[in-house]
Amino acid sequence: MTFGQTLKQLLTLSGIKSAHLADALGYDTSYISRWVNDIKLPSLKNNEDLFSKISRTIVDGSDEDAIERLCLACGSEHAWLEESLEAALKTAYDNASKQAQGPSLTPNALLLMGGRLPELTSVFADAIIRSAEEKGSGSVNVTVNVPLHIYSNRNMDFWRDILANPKVGGNLSITVEQVVEMSSFEANIDSYCAAIMTLLRFDKGVRYEFLLGDTVSNAGCSFITIENTLVCNVLENWLTHEEDLLICSDPGVVRQLSSKLSSALKFFQPLISYSDKDNLESSHFLYDFVMSGSLRYLLTVMHPIYMDDDFLAKLAVRYLTDPPDSDFHNYYNSLCSNMEREVILYRTALLEYIYSGRIYLFGREMQLDKADRTAHLKQLLENIRSGACTLKILNDDNPLLCRKDARLSVYLSRSAGFMASNESDWYSSFRFCSHRVVELFNTFFTHLWKLDDEYLLTGSDAEEFIQRGLMLM
């Protein structure tokens, strides 16, 4: 059995819950879940007695019937049960570690493997490194058409494990061309929008570009390619109903397929384009955005919601050493100042603002003093009460997009929209290139807007929450 299967069987026989084991070990429950499901092996670094701790927790938490079941399963006497469990876990772990070293994918190799095996990450990391070495470059292109709802924003272990490889992390820039098939997007709006918002700012070493494919592009099998090095086809096994990976590293085959793919991608339209403030201004995009009406903001950090021009100008003088830098942001604020809007603000973003003054202002993260944020929040309350702004406060943990995964703020109107990074040292804006994509993100916003009351503070409850914050400042 695998390590995960072994651990799962011992927990089942003992009746011990994963949460109990996690508490005993000092781990998050999600770690135990990954071990049990063979997604990830535990790290033994600085934790050599892990198996001893697990076996002790299981034995100590088992009743007499469970002890008998464990002894029978391990062929052990009660007095030696703890040692037997430890040995079983260690053996399963050692076997899994040997497998995780993975098969060596040499040139001309063709390999079939299960999609969830631990060695998968090693194979892709080696291919990325080999591609960079062959190019003599620090950049590698990866092309993927695997549907976004399959590897959602909540399962980023694949990239984390690759970037954790000492040969990869910090040394390479990876560009991922993600093909998006619109009908799949329309059928999985929430998971696609959440994944896009996460992946665009997942890591500085990974840059995602989303391209609109057609139905034909995904009609066969899903694929992953690493330029001139590796092609991986994801095949659904109709006998087992599981996904297998057919991996080819033959240089001639890979180069031929990569060339055809590169030519085809030239005709794919981008879903999102990278923009800076100069581009947004010169293209008159902001006029289009505001004139479309029905403004809607999803904010992961506090923004200058309803600051009048005079107040904003005073803040620029007070907090900026280079006031001209504020011109663009004053311009945008003036365009939006008289427009009604719907705003969803993450709860912790508001709390951070009340407590420390953290706000994203003039294209950078800043901290306003108590007097200035008090004045701003009073302006905000006045606009809420007048009906000019409808504000809902969203719990950080919710079914659609948790704040820790929301790496961008979203700005929508009826037919235009963009996203912006909240990190002042990593500023970028992303324009939606398709009206249909704007519509889908508006649908996602509506789904957030209509979440149950357990996830949202609305109306008078939101007003009272802000008012209490003012009283505590």
Distance CA 201, CA 465 (A): 30
Is residue 314 within 8 Å of residue 360, measured between CB atoms?
Answer: no
Alpha helix segments (H runs only) across 41-80: 50-60, 64-74
**Contact indicator for 105, 123 with CB cutoff of 8 Å:** yes
Q: Where in the chain is the domain with CATH 3.30.870.10?
A: 110-270
Architecture of domain 3-100: Orthogonal Bundle (1.10)
Read off the DSSP letter of residue 174: E
- Tell me, what's the pLDDT at 195? 92
pLDDT tens for the chain, 473 residues long, are 678 888 988 999 999 999 999 999 888 888 888 888 877 888 887 677 889 999 999 999 999 888 988 888 887 788 889 988 988 888 888 877 665 555 455 554 666 656 554 556 777 888 888 888 777 777 889 998 888 887 665 556 677 777 777 767 667 888 999 999 999 999 999 999 999 998 888 777 888 999 988 654 444 567 888 887 888 887 766 566 666 778 888 887 888 888 888 878 888 889 998 876 666 666 667 777 777 778 899 999 998 887 877 888 888 888 877 654 455 555 555 555 556 789 999 999 999 999 999 998 877 788 999 999 999 999 889 888 887 788 999 999 999 999 988 888 999 998 889 998 766 544 478 889 889 999 999 999 999 999 999 999 999 999 999 999 998 88
CA-nearest of 146, 120, 198 to 400 is 198
Domain with CATH 1.10.260 in the chain: 3-100
CB atoms within 10 A of CB 331: 14
- What's the CATH number for 275-472? 3.30.870
- CA 2 vs. chain centroid, Å, equals 29
N-term to C-term CA, the chain: 58
Q: Are 441 and 401 in contact (CB under 8 A)?
A: no
Q: How far apart are CA 339 and CA 413, in angstroms?
A: 11
Rounded to whole angstroms, what are the CA distances from 406 to 127, 345, 402, 420? 30, 12, 6, 11
pLDDT at 106: 53
| Homologous superfamily of the 110-270 domain (CATH) | Endonuclease Chain A (3.30.870.10)
The sheet with strand 272-275 has its strands ordered as: 272-275, 429-432, 417-421, 408-412, 295-299, 341-346, 389-394, 456-457
CB environment 262-283: b (16+ within 10 A), e (fewer): eeeeeebebbbeebebeebbee
179: tokens are 């093909």
3-state secondary structure of 242: strand
Q: Tokens standing for 178?
A: 């993600």
What pLDDT, on a 0 to 100 scale, did the predictor assign at position 425?
47
CB 429 within 8 A of CB 420: yes
* 64, amino acid identity: E
